[in-house]
């Protein structure tokens, strides 16, 4: 009888451990939003804060996306940006794959320095006065910021 109870406990622990690992694997790895001066912004109202920032202007507004072709989160972010670009063909998004490309890696390092983000990882969008790091941050905040810029151009 005791062995049966021990076996049930082991299976229960293994099942719970597997479930926890699955949740961790499916959760976003990182999602962060920053202003160009390095200030981190809460995800709750990031696009509003960025658009109200006096340094967010249409004059120097660019959209630059850095990714790695072997990154699952990057693929998800790229699909999102591709769809946005299809729906808004007048919005220019620069794409830079940093995998095995020294020029793009050097450019990525320049952007990180310019935006005061020493430890930023891909996928990341540098958009106007802001940094959207991680596929979730990109999906949650890109559209309102890019739409604002597009309206300012017209």
For residue 71, count other CB atoms closer than 10 A to its CB: 19
83-109, pLDDT tens digit by residue?
Answer: 999 999 989 999 999 999 999 999 999
* Better pLDDT: 18 or 117: 117
Give the Cα separation of 93 and 89 in Å (integer).
10
Sign of CA dihedral 46, 134, 64, 80: negative
Sign of CA dihedral 53, 51, 27, 122: negative
User: Cβ distance 138 to 130 under 8 Å?
Assistant: no
What domains are there in the chain, each with its CATH number?
32-153 (3.40.30.10)
Question: What is the average pLDDT across 6-30?
Answer: 56
Degrees (nearest 5) of the Cα angle 64, 138, 152? 60
């Amino acid at each position: 009888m005791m062995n049966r109870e021990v076996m049930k406990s082991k299976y229960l622990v293994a099942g719970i451990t597997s479930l926890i690992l699955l949740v961790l694997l499916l959760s976003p790895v990182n999602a962060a939003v920053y202003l160009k001066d390095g200030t981190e912004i809460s995800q709750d109202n990031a696009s509003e804060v960025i658009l109200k920032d006096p340094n967010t202007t249409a004059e120097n507004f660019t959209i630059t996306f850095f990714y790695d072709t072997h990154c699952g989160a990057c693929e998800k972010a790229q699909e999102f940006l591709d769809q946005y670009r299809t729906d808004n063909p007048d919005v220019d998004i620069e794409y830079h794959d940093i995998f095995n490309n020294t020029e793009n890696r050097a450019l990525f390092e320049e952007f990180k320095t310019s935006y005061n983000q020493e430890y930023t990882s891909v996928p990341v969008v540098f958009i106007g006065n802001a940094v959207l790091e991680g596929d979730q941050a990109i999906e949650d905040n890109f559209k309102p910021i890019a739409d604002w810029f597009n309206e300012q151009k017209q």
